[in-house]
């Protein structure tokens, strides 16, 4: 079982990111479960979403306390949301930031990428989720970029889908290159 | 015989009620009080609807006098498909019935919701407004006897100013129902802009039949409110029901009018307006307006209301304020 | 066919497969996504021949369903929490009129204090309303239960409430296997009402009934509830045979053959419980723990429960509701079912108002429960502090 | 498939619940007597024939009229229609123009030649009627209907009595009168004119019964000194002269004075105008309000330019002049006294219309028959004189002297004679309670004013044609309230909250006491007072 926790703010597509991740895994024949940190959060408030990926049936529904990977869509929530809590040893941390972010994380595989910038440039809107999923595929190898692309296409359609797919691919390539 | 009667051998003013083969949708054996205006109004209205819709109607009935007297196991007085659900949800149930018939492609089956003033203007107001809002294909008929009669004559928002009810008992401080209170549901219905709104009375059955027959074949939401004197609740002899209703009309206390799409399109003029006193005096619910310790201004308050009606609904009576 | 869907979407599609003719929607969190989903399927033409009404309240939603069902068409609505309480008068009315309405309840706590998160207080408030109440363990079951619910309802002429945990299921993305339309059509024939508003055969529905007959009316309703057990089982079996999925029925057991302790629960917490039990059994190397998933809360299948638990030494009931001043609700019913058997029954009140339930917390109480009424994860410090001030004010 | 127990119920099962048991008072359909009928001296069932006229069934309406009065066309002209005064509609928007409707239908009957047909029933009894005035002819008509053979003797040249010798042509054209008399003749009455009965006793041996309808045909005398050469007429003589020698009409001169205040005086005055007089004055001793003449007659007279000199008596009549005493009259006491003042007016002639009295030679000296000091024949309540088998009626007995009353007497006499000859006691049929205005609910009657027609024509002996058209006839008949008798307005049926009134296919109504709760709405919403609540 591989568990991912995504942090961000309302309106940044945090929940959608988790859902797309689960779809991608599903498309690879895996069992996947995605759910938000339920609430009536409004635009801008810190939000968390979860995704579990597994080869066998996922039954447990507790929130993810010890994630294998953390995606931070907005670095300003790291402090208040205590975003890195419970990360497993050698876990992945993917942060949306054009510049490296200082963390006190020991043995964790931290990666920063200017997802918002890529999104603005590719999609024209500052929604970094698809970009980060592309990057996540490259960083972790847990899911294939093709699956991410298919997932984006099931969630979105037309121009938006196209652009997000492009953005995801760009991020994927970029991340691979920098590995 | 040139007359305004319900029928006669010369076939003038032919009415559903006077025809020997009238449907009697509300049949004998019901338990309404002697001289019940609501029972009469219900039979006339539903008979008229039944005739105009060629027998294809379904009726939803709110809790209240009419429901209790017309359908208590094992005695059902109805001769039409009829359902009683609750006190406050009648309009919504009717919306559901209409939706079902629409989906079955049976829009020729016309749906009627009916209830007393309490079930309509008070507890049923939310569902009624929703039905108006969606413009559901339902004719809602409110039998207005101006109080909660089924529970023993308590005040409703349709209770007229200064009327005595069990919850607005006159005493040294108070004189019946507070004149500052009450709501005008026909106006509220008009404000929804629904296709048809009308006010009728058992004091004018020709008009009542015409309005129901007209409404029943209009698509969308319709509202008809019928003035139904209640011998028990208002305190008058059982034989006087129609006369009282007629006096309400002649005095301007109950204006008859029609509105289409929120606009007043017609009203029944008053030929010679009578002072409201003639209407009030014969009802015990207004007795305190005339007793020895009566406040003289009070009758004037009601006269003003009547005159305002005449002006507002263009009943053309001579204001004798 | 398999899909990765939000629970609400899965249910919306399952509903559409049942071809309801009238659906009425009124928004309340967390049920909202379901009626949104059905609405979208109607507007996009995927659900044909269906009237979709946006109503002005839950009272109207259930009332519209009463009207359309009485007029002889399959009808559906959904609600949660306060919404259920707001429509409660009509909830009783629907069962009294024997109208087989199906309603989804996206389980949510009841305020005050206002709380939009999951527990079962809403469902428990309707337990004597004369509806059948089925609880879904996961989204697959939520979808499957709705397909069974219409058949059960129409067979018994009783309304059915399908309960699924708010957010935890309604908002969770999972794999769901949805049958094809033709399969569902084979399983669920078109609705043929026993009575309806029909100008050709007028009858009155909803007569007043006097003391002389009311007892009989109520007794017959009671009998139908009891009969419902066998109908639910039968239709569950039918469903499993056709769709090759063991969903529905009255209850399911897990690892209880040799279990000394059996955990009884309803709804989505069962998944976490099963994982917990597996881990406990794994650690101890034996199989002292088992699970009983209760699907049918109404009717309450006493006999079947008793049969399943008779060999247990201890039964732990994990429930997301609390009878104030009384304790467990489900637990008390289980207790009645096990009357006369020498079985210890422990009530674990958990997850009220969406309070997180973790395997760790469960494992702890399962291993050594302290007392027989346990409030899972209760913050004792807060209680002590708050309660002390109360006592001080009383000068006690 | 079974339905839910108790909460779902089949239609109309409440019919098993007989709510009639709630009733403490019960409605009943009643027949009340309409005021018009009550007051008609001829006892016509006016409401009945109006209701037939409403439906345009004029023949049936006429048949209904002649059940009580064989002279509709005549009555429609000369009757003083007390019915219209009593008509409840008078208190609403003007009484129904009953008189003109009767006249119009009466004329229709003559024009269409409607007849009574010979009475089929026959018996061996014979009745003699003396006098062919309205009461004599009416008695003859009914007695024929009853099957008697009837001889009718008339001392005058022509038939009709006062209808001919008392009512001028311009009010009653002779062709109308003749037609209605002929109709009676046609049903087998043997009528003989210029035949005076000299010996009543002898006749009594030839007949089983005799009806004296001898009228009051001689003018009462009044004492005033008359200069020789003064031109004085009695109204009776004047009318008889006009009737008997129409080719040689009398000349009354330019100025005429008529003495008297009754209808005859009015007729005489108006006749004088038609004979060429330019100034006609009526001299009457009391005030105009005290004049016995019918007010419409007075109005017509004034309208024709006749002057009425009240509070005057004639002192003396000279050639071309009359001396009048001015009188004082005290309304309260009714005492009349000479003021002492006199006045002279010019008059080429004077017509006396101061009343008529019975020519009683026929009964004089016959024992049993009493003639009162007022000069009228005494009869019992069965109209029989003191002499068994001899009956009397019309102007010859005490009572109102109008044509309509005479017809009433004639009808009653016929019935009494019939009863007498059949050895039965005559029992007048009992009367229902009267449907007065209070018993009506006029809310249901549309306001609709009476169609008034002036009968004033030219100053000649021709009558003005004022008859209604069929349409007008129906319209005016429709104004009838149908007081006290159901006209099938269906209010009771329509307003009953309990459907406790059954309307049969033919429109007839019946109260279903199984369900009637006795609320009384039917009675209070009945426009015509034909439902009564009985406890």
C299: preceding bond cis by omega (within 30 degrees) = yes
Could you tell me which chain B residue has the CA closest to the CA of D523? B239
Its pTM surpasses 0.90: yes
Question: Which residues does B134 contact at the CB level (< 8 Å), separation at least 6?
Answer: B95, B221, C53, C54, C55
Q: Using pLDDT thresholds of 50, 70 and 90, give the confidence band for residue A178.
A: confident
Contact assignment for C203 to D5 by CB distance below 8 Å: no
Longest CA span, chain C: 73
pLDDT of A44: 76
User: Helix H segments across chain C?
Assistant: 7-17, 32-43, 58-70, 81-86, 88-96, 121-125, 139-156, 181-187, 211-243, 269-284, 302-309, 330-337, 359-367, 380-393
CB B204, CB B192: distance < 8 Å: no
CB A94, CB A116: distance < 8 Å: no
In order of their start, the domains of chain D are 14-31+486-534 (3.30.70.20), 35-114+442-476 (1.10.1060.10), 126-217+358-421 (3.50.50.60), 219-355 (3.50.50.60)
Q: Is the pLDDT of residue B206 over 70?
A: yes
Selection from D519, D376, C289 nearest residue B39 by Cα: D519
Task: Give one DSSP letter per residue of C103-143, joined into a string.
Answer: EEEEE----SSP--S--SHHHHHTTTSS-EEEE-SSHHHHH
- Burial class of residue C155 in the structure, from the number of CB atoms within 10 Å of its CB (0-12 exposed, 13-18 middle, 19+ buried): middle
Which chains are within 8 Å of C by 3+ CB pairs? A, B, D
DSSP D377: B
Residue numbers in B near D533 (CB within 8 A)? 239
pLDDT of B10: 67
CB D210, CB D391: distance < 8 Å: yes
Percent of chain D past pLDDT 90, that is, above it, reads: 83
Find the mean pLDDT for residues A103-129.
93
* Cα Rg of chain D, angstroms: 28
D535 in contact with chain B, both atoms CB, cutoff 8 A? no
pLDDT of B293: 82
d(CA D71, nearest CA chain B) in Å: 26
Question: Which residues does C340 contact at the CB level (< 8 Å), separation at least 6?
Answer: none
- What is the token pair recorded at C58? 């839950």
Q: Is the pLDDT of residue A48 over 70?
A: yes
In order of their start, the domains of chain A are 2-178 (3.40.920.10)
Alpha-carbon distance D268 to D274, whole Å?
10
D534 in contact with chain B, both atoms CB, cutoff 8 A? no
B129 in contact with chain C, both atoms CB, cutoff 8 A? yes
Average pLDDT over chain D, rounded to an integer: 94
Alpha-carbon distance D388 to D400, whole Å?
25
Per-residue pLDDT tens digits for C119-163: 999 999 999 999 999 999 999 999 999 999 999 999 999 999 999
Question: Which residues does C149 contact at the CB level (< 8 Å), separation at least 6?
Answer: C102, C132, C134, C160, C162
Alpha-carbon distance D186 to D118, whole Å?
7
Instruction: Say what the ipTM of the complex is.
Output: 0.92
Per-residue pLDDT tens digits for C235-270: 999 999 999 999 999 999 999 999 999 999 999 999
pLDDT of D120: 66
pLDDT of B317: 47
Higher pLDDT, A38 or B262: B262
Contact assignment for B74 to D9 by CB distance below 8 Å: yes
Question: Which residues does C231 contact at the CB level (< 8 Å), separation at least 6?
Answer: C152, C155, C156
Question: Which residues does C327 contact at the CB level (< 8 Å), separation at least 6?
Answer: C347, C349, C373
pLDDT of C230: 97
- Domain spanning B37-312: CATH 3.40.50.970: yes
Residues in chain B, total: 321
pLDDT of A39: 62
- Domain segments of chain B: what residues? 37-312
Give me the phi and psi of D479, to 5 degrees please.
-70, -10
Give me the phi and psi of D301, to 5 degrees please.
-60, -50
B101 in contact with chain C, both atoms CB, cutoff 8 A? yes
Per-residue pLDDT tens digits for D106-160: 999 999 999 987 666 678 899 999 999 999 999 999 999 999 999 999 999 999 9
Selection from C170, C163, C140 nearest residue C31 by Cα: C170
Task: Give one DSSP letter per residue of A84-137, joined into a string.
Answer: TTTPPTT-EEEEE-SS------SS-EEEEE-HHHHHHHHTSS---HHHHHHHHH
CB C63, CB B86: distance < 8 Å: yes
Alpha-carbon distance C264 to D290, whole Å?
114
Q: Is the pLDDT of residue C60 over 60?
A: yes
pLDDT of A46: 87
Specify which residues A33 forms β-bridges with.
A52
Alpha-carbon distance A133 to B284, whole Å?
80
Q: Are strands B222-227 and B196-201 parallel, antiparallel or unpaired?
A: parallel
Q: Using pLDDT thresholds of 50, 70 and 90, give the confidence band for residue B318.
A: very low
User: Three-class SS of residue D37?
Assistant: helix
Per-residue pLDDT tens digits for A56-104: 999 999 999 999 999 999 999 999 889 999 999 999 999 999 999 988 8
d(CA D18, nearest CA chain C) in Å: 19
Residues in chain A, total: 179
Number of Cβ atoms within 10 Å of the Cβ of C327: 15
Choose the mutation target among C140, C175, C351, C359 for the interface with A, i.e. most A CBs under 10 Å.
C175
Find the mean pLDDT for residues D170-193.
95
Selection from A36, D330, D496 nearest residue B43 by Cα: D496
- Domain spanning C251-381: CATH 3.40.50.920: yes
Q: Are strands C203-205 and D8-10 parallel, antiparallel or unpaired?
A: antiparallel
CA distances from A116 to A47, A99, B133, B192, C272 (A): 17, 12, 45, 48, 36
Quick one: fold of C2-243?
Rossmann fold (3.40.50)
Give me the phi and psi of D464, to 5 degrees please.
-85, 130
Out of B220-229, C276-285, D314-323, least confident range? D314-323
CA distances from C349 to C165, C279, C373 (A): 16, 22, 7
DSSP C190: P
Choose the mutation target among D18, D490, D506 for the interface with B, i.e. most B CBs under 10 Å.
D490
Percent of chain C past pLDDT 90, that is, above it, reads: 97
B304 in contact with chain C, both atoms CB, cutoff 8 A? no
d(CA D503, nearest CA chain C) in Å: 24
Could you tell me which chain B residue has the CA closest to the CA of C196? B81
Alpha-carbon distance C97 to C77, whole Å?
17
For C53, the closest of B80, B94, B134 (CB atoms) is B134
Name residues 19-48 of chain C within 8 A of B (Cβ).
Answer: 21-22, 24
User: Three-class SS of residue C344?
Assistant: strand
Per-residue pLDDT tens digits for B78-103: 999 999 999 999 999 999 999 999 99
Could you tell me which chain D residue has the CA closest to the CA of C210? D6
User: Three-class SS of residue B126?
Assistant: helix
pLDDT of B13: 62
Virtual torsion, Cα C138, C144, C147, C149, nearest 10 deg = -60
pLDDT of A41: 59
C30: preceding bond cis by omega (within 30 degrees) = yes
CB A93, CB A84: distance < 8 Å: yes
Average pLDDT over chain B, rounded to an integer: 95
Selection from A152, A135, A133, A145 nearest residue A28 by Cα: A145
CB D91, CB D481: distance < 8 Å: no
From edge to edge, which strands make up the β-sheet containing A31-36?
A: A109-113, A92-96, A69-72, A2-9, A46-54, A31-36, C173-177, C2-6
User: Helix H segments across C18-138?
Assistant: 32-43, 58-70, 81-86, 88-96, 121-125
pLDDT of C396: 60
Q: Is the pLDDT of residue A42 over 80?
A: no
Apex B143 CA angle, B142 and B149, nearest 5:
120
Alpha-carbon distance D418 to B190, whole Å?
76
Q: Using pLDDT thresholds of 50, 70 and 90, give the confidence band for residue D1.
A: low
Apex D318 CA angle, D315 and D320, nearest 5:
120
Stretch (H or E) spanning D129: strand D126-130
Per-residue pLDDT tens digits for B31-65: 999 999 999 999 999 999 999 999 999 999 999 99
Find the mean pLDDT for residues A39-58.
86
Residue that has been written with the tokens 């129901």 in this structure: B212
pLDDT of D122: 79
Selection from C253, C11, C297, C304 nearest residue C135 by Cα: C297
Could you tell me which chain D residue has the CA closest to the CA of B23? D499
Q: Is the pLDDT of residue B321 over 50?
A: no
Alpha-carbon distance B3 to D491, whole Å?
11
Residue that has been written with the tokens 């109102």 in this structure: D400
CB D166, CB D243: distance < 8 Å: no
- Domain segments of chain C: what residues? 2-243, 251-381
Selection from D57, D160, D106 nearest residue D98 by Cα: D106
pLDDT of B125: 98
Residue that has been written with the tokens 């799409």 in this structure: B261
pLDDT of B320: 38
Alpha-carbon distance C360 to C377, whole Å?
10
């Amino acid at each position: 079982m591989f568990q991912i926790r995504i942090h961000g703010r309302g309106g940044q597509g945090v929940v959608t990111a988790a859902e797309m991740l689960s779809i991608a895994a599903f498309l690879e024949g895996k069992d996947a479960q995605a759910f938000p940190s339920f609430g009536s959060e409004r635009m801008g408030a810190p939000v968390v979403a979860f995704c579990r990926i597994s080869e066998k049936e996922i039954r447990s529904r507790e929130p993810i306390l010890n994630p294998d990977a953390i995606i931070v869509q907005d670095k300003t929530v790291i402090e208040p949301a205590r975003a890195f809590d419970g990360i497993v040893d050698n876990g992945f941390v993917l942060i949306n930031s054009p510049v490296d972010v200082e963390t006190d994380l020991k043995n964790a595989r931290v990666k920063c990428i200017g997802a918002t910038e890529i999104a603005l440039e590719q999609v024209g809107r500052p929604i970094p989720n698809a970009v980060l999923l592309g990057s996540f595929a490259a960083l972790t190898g847990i899911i294939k970029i093709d699956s991410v692309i298919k997932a984006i296409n099931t969630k979105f359609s037309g121009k938006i889908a196209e652009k997000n797919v492009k953005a995801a691919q760009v991020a994927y390539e970029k991340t691979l290159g920098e590995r | 015989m040139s007359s305004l009667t319900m029928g006669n051998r010369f076939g003038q003013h032919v009415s559903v009620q006077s025809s020997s083969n009238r449907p009697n949708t509300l049949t004998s054996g019901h338990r309404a009080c002697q001289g019940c205006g609501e029972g009469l109004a219900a039979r006339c209205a539903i008979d008229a609807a039944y005739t105009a819709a060629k027998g294809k109607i379904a009726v939803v009935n709110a809790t209240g006098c009419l429901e209790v007297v017309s359908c208590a196991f094992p005695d059902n007085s109805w001769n039409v498909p009829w359902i009683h659900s609750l006190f406050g949800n009648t309009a919504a149930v009717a919306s559901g019935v209409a939706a079902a018939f629409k989906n079955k492609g049976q829009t020729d089956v016309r749906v009627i919701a009916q209830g007393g003033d309490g079930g309509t203007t008070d507890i049923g107001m939310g569902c009624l407004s929703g039905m108006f809002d969606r413009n559901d294909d339902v004719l809602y008929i409110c039998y207005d006897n101006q109080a909660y009669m089924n529970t023993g004559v308590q005040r409703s928002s349709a209770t007229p100013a200064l009327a005595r009810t069990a919850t607005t008992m006159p005493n040294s401080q108070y004189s019946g129902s507070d004149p500052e209170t009450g709501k005008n549901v026909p106006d509220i219905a008009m404000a929804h802009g629904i296709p048809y709104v009308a006010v009728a009375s058992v004091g004018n059955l020709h008009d009542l039949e015409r309005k129901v027959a007209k409404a029943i074949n209009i698509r969308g939401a319709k509202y008809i409110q019928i003035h139904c004197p209640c011998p028990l609740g208002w305190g008058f002899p059982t034989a006087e029901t129609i006369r009282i209703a007629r006096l309400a009309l002649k005095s301007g206390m109950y204006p008859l009018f029609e509105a289409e799409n929120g606009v007043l399109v017609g009203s029944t003029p008053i030929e010679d307006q009578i002072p409201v006193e003639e209407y009030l005096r014969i009802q015990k619910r207004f007795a305190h307006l005339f007793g020895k310790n009566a406040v003289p201004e009070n009758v004037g308050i009601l006269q003003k209301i009547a005159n305002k009606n005449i002006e507002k609904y263009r009943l053309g009576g001579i204001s004798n304020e | 066919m398999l899909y990765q869907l939000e629970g609400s979407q899965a249910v919306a599609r399952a509903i559409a497969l049942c071809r309801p003719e009238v659906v009425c929607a009124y928004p309340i969190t967390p049920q909202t996504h379901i009626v949104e989903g059905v609405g979208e399927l109607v507007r996009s033409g995927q659900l044909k021949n269906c009237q979709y009404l946006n109503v002005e309240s839950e009272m109207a939603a259930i009332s519209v369903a009463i009207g359309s069902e009485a007029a002889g068409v399959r009808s559906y609505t959904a609600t949660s929490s306060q919404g259920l309480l707001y429509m409660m008068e009509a909830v009783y009315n629907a069962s009294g009129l024997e109208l087989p309405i199906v309603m989804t309840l996206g389980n949510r706590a009841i305020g005050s204090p206002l709380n939009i998160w999951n527990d079962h207080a809403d469902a428990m408030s309707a337990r004597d309303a004369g509806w059948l109440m089925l609880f879904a363990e996961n989204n697959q079951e939520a979808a499957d239960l709705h397909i069974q619910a219409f058949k059960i309802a129409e067979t018994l002429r009783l309304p059915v409430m399908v309960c699924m945990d708010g957010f935890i299921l309604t908002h969770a993305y999972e794999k769901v296997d949805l049958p094809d339309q033709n399969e569902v059509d084979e399983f669920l024939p078109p609705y043929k009402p026993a009575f309806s508003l029909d100008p050709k055969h007028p009858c009155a529905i909803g007569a007043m009934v006097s003391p002389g007959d009311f007892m009989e009316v109520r007794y017959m309703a009671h009998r139908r509830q009891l009969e419902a057990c066998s109908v639910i089982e039968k239709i569950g079996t039918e469903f499993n045979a056709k769709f090759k999925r063991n969903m529905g029925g009255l209850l399911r057991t897990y690892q209880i053959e040799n279990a000394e302790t059996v955990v009884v629960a309803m709804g989505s917490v069962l998944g976490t419980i099963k994982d917990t039990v597996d881990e406990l059994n794994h650690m101890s190397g034996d199989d002292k723990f088992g699970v009983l998933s209760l699907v049918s809360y109404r009717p309450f299948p006493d006999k079947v429960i008793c049969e399943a638990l008779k060999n247990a030494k201890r039964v732990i009931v994990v429930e997301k509701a609390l009878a104030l001043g009384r304790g467990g609700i489900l637990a008390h019913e289980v207790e009645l079912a096990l009357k006369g058997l020498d079985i210890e029954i422990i009530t674990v009140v958990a997850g009220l108002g969406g309070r997180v339930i973790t395997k760790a917390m469960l494992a702890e109480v399962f291993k050594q429960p302290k007392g027989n009424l346990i409030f899972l994860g209760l913050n004792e410090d807060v209680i002590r502090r708050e309660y002390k001030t109360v006592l001080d004010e009383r000068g006690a | 498939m079974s339905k839910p127990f108790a909460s779902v119920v089949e239609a109309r099962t409440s019919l098993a619940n007989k709510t009639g048991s709630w009733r403490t008072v019960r409605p009943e359909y009643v027949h009340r007597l309409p005021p018009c009928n009550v007051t008609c001296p001829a006892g016509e069932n006016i409401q009945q024939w109006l209701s037939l006229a409403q439906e345009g069934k004029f023949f049936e309406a006429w048949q209904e009229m002649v059940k009580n009065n064989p002279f509709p066309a005549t009555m429609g002209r000369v009757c003083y229609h007390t019915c219209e005064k009593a008509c409840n509609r008078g208190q609403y928007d003007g009484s129904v123009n009953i008189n003109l409707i009767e006249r119009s239908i009466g004329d229709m009957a003559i024009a269409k030649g409607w007849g009574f047909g010979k009475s089929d029933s026959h018996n061996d009894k014979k009745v003699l009627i003396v006098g062919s005035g309205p009461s004599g002819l009416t008695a003859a008509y009914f007695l024929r209907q009853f099957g008697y053979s009837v001889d009718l003797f008339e001392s005058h040249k022509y038939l009709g009595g006062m209808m001919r010798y008392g009512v001028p042509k311009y009010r009653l054209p002779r062709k109308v009168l003749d037609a209605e008399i002929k109709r009676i003749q046609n049903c087998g009455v043997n009528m003989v004119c210029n035949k005076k009965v000299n010996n009543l006793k002898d006749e009594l041996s030839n007949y089983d019964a005799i009806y004296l309808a001898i009228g009051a045909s001689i003018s009462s005398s009044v004492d005033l000194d008359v200069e020789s050469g003064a031109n004085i007429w009695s109204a009776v003589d004047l009318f008889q002269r006009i009737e008997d020698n129409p080719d040689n009409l009398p000349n009354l001169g330019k100025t005429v004075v008529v003495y008297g205040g009754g209808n005859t005086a009015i007729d005489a005055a108006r006749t004088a105008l038609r004979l060429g007089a330019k100034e006609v004055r009526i001299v009457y001793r009391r005030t105009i309000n005290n004049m016995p003449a019918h007010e419409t007659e007075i109005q017509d007279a004034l309208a024709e330019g006749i002057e009425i000199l009240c509070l005057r008596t004639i002192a003396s009549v000279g050639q071309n002049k009359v001396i009048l005493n001015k009188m004082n009259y005290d309304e309260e006491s009714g005492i009349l006294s000479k003021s002492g003042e006199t006045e002279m007016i010019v008059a080429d002639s004077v017509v006396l219309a101061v009343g008529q009295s019975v020519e009683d030679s026929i009964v004089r000296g016959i024992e049993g028959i009493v003639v009162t000091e007022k000069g009228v024949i005494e009869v019992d309540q069965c109209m029989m004189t003191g002499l068994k088998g001899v009956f009397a009626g019309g102007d010859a007995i005490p009572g109102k002297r109008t044509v309509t009353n005479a017809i009433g007497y004639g009808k009653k006499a016929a019935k009494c004679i019939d009863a007498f000859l059949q050895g039965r006691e005559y029992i007048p049929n009992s009367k229902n309670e009267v449907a007065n205005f209070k018993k009506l609910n006029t809310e249901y009657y549309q306001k609709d004013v009476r169609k008034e027609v002036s009968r004033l024509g030219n100053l000649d002996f021709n009558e003005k044609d004022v008859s209604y058209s069929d349409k007008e006839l129906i319209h005016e008949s429709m104004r009838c309230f149908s007081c006290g008798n159901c006209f099938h307005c269906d209010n009771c049926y329509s307003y009953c909250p309990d459907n406790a009134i059954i309307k049969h296919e033919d429109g007839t109504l019946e109260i279903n006491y199984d369900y009637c709760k006795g609320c009384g709405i039917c009675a209070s919403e009945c426009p015509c007072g034909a439902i009564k609540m009985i406890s």
